[in-house]
Amino acid sequence: MRNIVKELRTEKEWSQANLADHLAVSRQTVNAIETGRYDPSLPLAFTISKIFGKPIEKIFFEDE
């Protein structure tokens, strides 16, 4: 699964640690999501969606 979390985070000028604080996860978790090594749980994906004000399907999408 691919995502645009890094792009959305950098648009807000947040560090991975800032985003991790907003999500109540570790910075390592944010890094793993951004690099595609970890797919977030559905509740976490909803939280990411809410923070960035975008539908989940605009942030996360299947590999082509």
pTM of the predicted model, to two decimals?
Answer: 0.92
The pLDDT of residue 63 is 78
- Four-way CATH pick for 2-61: 3.30.300.130, 1.10.3720.10, 1.10.260.40, 3.40.50.10420: 1.10.260.40
Angle at CA 59, nearest 5°, toward 41 and 56?
60
- Tokens standing for 6? 């890094």
pLDDT tens column, 1-59: 899 999 999 999 999 999 999 999 999 999 999 999 999 999 999 999 999 999 999 99
Angle at CA 22, nearest 5°, toward 7 and 61?
40
- Tokens standing for 18? 């800032």
The pLDDT of residue 64 is 72
- Tokens standing for 42? 């559905």
Nearby residues of 12 by Cβ (< 8 Å), 6 or more positions away: 52
The pLDDT of residue 21 is 98
